[in-house]
Structures are given as C-alpha cells and as structure tokens.
Homo-oligomer: A and B are copies of this chain.
Amino acid sequence: MEESKKYHMSLDDFEHNGQELLSWIKKYYENIESYPVMSQTAPGQIRSALPPKAPQSGDTFQDILQDVEKIILPGITHWQSPNFFAYFPANASGPAILGDLLSSCFGVQGMIWATSPACTELETHILDWLVDMLDLPNKFKSSSDGGGVIQDTASSASLCAVLSAREKVTKFSSNMKGCHDKLVAYTSSQAHSSIEKAIKIAGIGKENLRLIDVDKEFAMRPELLDEQINKDIKRGKIPFFVCATVGTTSSNALDPLEAIGKICEWYQIWLHVDAAMSGTAAVCPEFRFIHEGLEYADSYCFNPHKWMFTNFDCDCFYVADRKVLIETLSILPEYLRNKATESGAVIDYRDWHVPLGRRFRSLKLWFVIRHYGIEGLQHHIRQHVKLAQQFADWVKRDHQFELVAPVPLNLVCFRHKAGDDFNANLLDKLNQSGELYLTHTKLNDCYTLRFCVGQTSTEQRHVVKAWRKIRETASKLDKTVH
C-alpha cells in the first residue's frame, strides 16, 4: 500500500464498518427498553475496564465495537429510551442522526461564509423558517435587522445575550476598558443556573444579579422587578439586562413576558427570553400563548436539541438587532480577511458566538424539518403534551399524590404526600429499578418529583407503565415506613 495511505481506513472499509455500525445502532434501539434507563455503574468502573495506555498499533473496527458493547454500554444513561422522563429531554431521531452524519462527513468548518457558503446560508434560511414555524416576531428574521444563529446550548446563547446587553449599555466601552461594577441584571429566582454563570463570566458579578421573587405558580412577579429596578437606579446602578424564562427548568413556569417586556421597554433594558425546552411547543398554534409578549424581547433562544427531535447540540439563538451582537463579538485578523466578508453581502457566523470554529449543524435540523414536515412535528408535540396532561390528571385523582405546580405543557411536578424523605426514597427506588428515570427539584422548599414527556419514542404505554410503577413503589415504601 502507498505510504501516504498506510493507516487510513479505506473507503470500502468505511462503508462496510459503517453498515455494521448501523445494524448495531438498530439493534441498540430495538433493545433499548431492556437496559436500565439510568446507568447502574459505580464510579470508576468504566475507567477500570480501559487499558492504562493508548494502543501502540491499531485495532480492528470489530474490536472497537466489541468494547463499545462490553465497556461503554453499561455506562450509558439511555437518554433515547422511551422511559426517560428525567431533566428535560434531549431527543434525537433518525433524520437528525443521518443529517449529523453528513455534517461529520463534509467536515467543514463554517467560521466564515467563504469557508462553506452552504453552511452559513442553510443555517440562516432554516432559522428564518423557524421564525414562521413558531410564529416568532418578524424582527428575528435575517430579512429584518435581526437574525438567528445556532449555538451549542442555551447557556452559550444567554452569555451572548448578556455580553450584547453589556456592550450596548456601555456603548461598547466594556469591551475596550473592561467592565465596571454599576451594571445590574435581573432574572427570577427560578431561572436557569446558566444565567448566573453568564453574569459571572461576563465580569458583572453575582452580587449584581437580582433574583426576583416568583408568584405561587413560580413565575416572575413583574411588580417586584419594577420595584427592584427603581431601587437600583436610585442607588446609582445601571440596570442593563433582564432574562425571562418560558418554561423554567424546575417547574416549566412561564414568566409573564408582556408585563416584563413593558418594564424593559420603559427603562430601556435588554430583554432576553430563554425558552430552551418549551419554545418548540409553539410549532402548534394552540401552545403559542407561551410566547405572548415576545415582541418586547431583544433576544430569544430555544433548543431543537431538547424537544424537536434534533440530536444535541443545537440551540437556536435570535437577536432583534444583529449589529449589536456582531459588534460585541467581532474580530477580524488578517488571516480571516476575504472578499466575500469585505463585500458586506454575507454573514460570518464567527462573530455571532464565542467559538471561532463551527460545524455544519443546520444539516440535522434541515433533515428533521424536511422529514417530519410541520404537521409531523405538531403531531408528536401534541402527543407529548397530551400524555403529560393525562399523567397530571392521574396524579390529581390519586389521594396519595399531589401536583406541586401548574402543568402548562409536558412537565409534571408532583409528589407523594408523605413528605420529603419519602419522596427522595421513592425517586431512588424508581431510578434503581432501571425501568424508568425521573429527577427531582425543590419547589416551595419541598422535595418534588419531575416527570417530563418529550422523548421521541415515548408512547402512551410507557406513561401508563411509569405511573403504575410509581404507585406500586410508593405503596411498598409505605409499608416499610409505617
């Protein structure tokens, strides 16, 4: 064999090994319900099965695949199992996985338009499609002054929103001179931890993030936001950023965007709306109430990698004024100069997020939308919401359990009436059974179970079985305790 090809996998082998892997994946999905949903591995167990040093000579693909089965598989928590009801979902689908395979194959690095025009233009185009599909404000379209970009996660999107707001209010002087300590940001006490993280990263400081209290439905109280902003202004502080959440992580609470938006408009504060999971629901007209008031937002994000059948990572981040975002994050070294950029006729996405490099992530999103069509997405989102509502109904009718928060969409927060320890025990037993996987939160200081329906292949039978298992496990625990 030619020296220069010596160790590479030939194209024939690639196709052959790929086919073998595809059958393996098919078998994995066929058997997925037979594995414990939450991995039952002990800390260090995977590592102890791996050799301490990298191999000197290469192994065959069959060897590698065998080790996947033997070593890796037991260490997988099966996010793609229909019995996964934990956290928020990170659902995948056939078309997404194949779209992502094509992205790996092209291996383009789409930092600027010229390094693969299709990577940039498909992304802009699909993100415009999604504005229509979710009926988002038109200002988020690339044909207006705004536009969308794919980020890895909502954490990164929030960071970009914080930075843009910081630069806008300081007239881009923070980028030049560093941050000063007068800036103040606001979010609810139920907001995602990534907001605090972004505020720290951006040099604002956690002490300058106000956590506004929530109402009994865990949504931000706008009158308290207004009060706090007033108080801060009187102290000589500069309110610059508000993050409202459409579907908080703990309980899926919906902050009142319209009331918050009017306050932000009045004080000229950047409003970011984080709809990481719930945004997808807006593909169905009957769920668009979650976005009422979104026209006040300066930026917005939702994650197709949570509930839109597009495998991780894929967060769609929109801004109403792309110039601010670009000026905030722009760099242009000589080695990236090119005619297309200088013509001003193209988008260079490197200036829309933290990393310079970027893969072709819109392909998987395109494959998903093309495969399902709008009606397919609507159908499955409706199914998930219906199943969650059914589950909530069962909880309501059972005198041993209670709902802890409203259920606007697909997340049910509930608990057994026997108290915190009992619920913590119940969760442990359920997850150890391997038959399903839920997680918990605290609401009003009470240990609360979360049941989220959003996994691609979850059907009614899985939800029925889950509820039965929860009741059975609770009644067995009951006997042990009393």
Contact = CB atoms under 8 A, between A and B. Distances in A.
A58 B371 contact: yes
Contact of A39 (B116, B250, B369): B116
A155 B357 contact: yes
Given A14-B98, A43-B113, A193-B332, 7 more contacts: A2-B459, A8-B94, A61-B371, A87-B115, A178-B205, A178-B208, A203-B204
A105 B457 contact: no
Nearest to A163: B201
Contacts of A313: 355, 357-359
A133 interface: yes
Contacts of A95: 9, 61, 64
A56 B132 CA distance: 12
Contact of A181 (B177, B346, B355): B177
Contacts of A29: 11, 14, 105
Contacts of A367: 64
Given A57-B373, A159-B354, A356-B155, A459 B4 contact: yes
A76 B106 contact: yes
B104 A54 contact: no
A55 B370 contact: yes
Nearest to A383: B4
A389 interface: no
Interface string A372-411: 1111110110010000000000000000000000000000
Nearest to A115: B77
A371 B3 CA distance: 17
B357 A153 contact: yes
Given A116-B39, A356-B193, A179 B179 contact: yes
